[in-house]
Amino acid sequence: MADALLSRGLVALPPGESFPGAGIYAIYYRGSHRLYRALLKAEKDRDTRIPIYVGKAVPEGARKGGTSIDAPSGPALYKRLREHADSITEATNLKLGDFECRYLIVDDIWIPLGESLLIRKFAPLWNLVVDGFGNHDPGKGRHNQRCSPWDVVHPGRSWAKPLQPGLRTSAEIALDIETFFAG
């Protein structure tokens, strides 16, 4: 499954048109943000693209066990990629044009395994160190939660603004990123 995803071509984030299906995806960064220079250098050294984030999109209700195996998934994967594009667009220090993605429509039962394999294979920065990119609005009355590391280093998501300050500063997270790339 991971090999099938990686054999797919890179496309803009989000893909140009909506499509049905659920599955797995990888998001790649090609910009000039100072925090991610080591990622781009690592790609050149290894001669392969390294995703900054990998994730999954499951059919609506699947997280709570509310779907059947034959239930249509609708555009779950496209909607998830669109949500990520919106998060990047809202960030004050990122440009959507610096991102690309690969995605693969997968039978629902295999989606969590595919995501786990991709995380283990690539150890994506935004999955492991700069957590919070995939977060959703916590909802009404729950803004006493702390700001995620992703929202600390990439401020701008409207729903994250009323959250409590993160546990770590932007400078501390930058040091975590440096340490991560140093091995």
Strand order in the sheet with 23-29: 11-12, 99-105, 23-29, 53-57
What is the model's pLDDT at position 124?
A: 97
As a whole number, the mean pLDDT across the chain is: 90
Q: What is the pLDDT of residues 131-171, one digit of tens each?
A: 999 999 887 766 788 999 999 999 999 999 999 999 999 99
- Confirm if 118 and 51 have CB atoms less than 8 A apart: yes
- Whole-model pTM? 0.91
Nearest CA-CA partner of 163 in 181, 149, 177: 149
Query: pLDDT confidence of 66, banded at 50, 70, 90?
Result: very low
Q: What is the pLDDT of residues 16-34, one digit of tens each?
A: 999 999 999 999 999 999 9
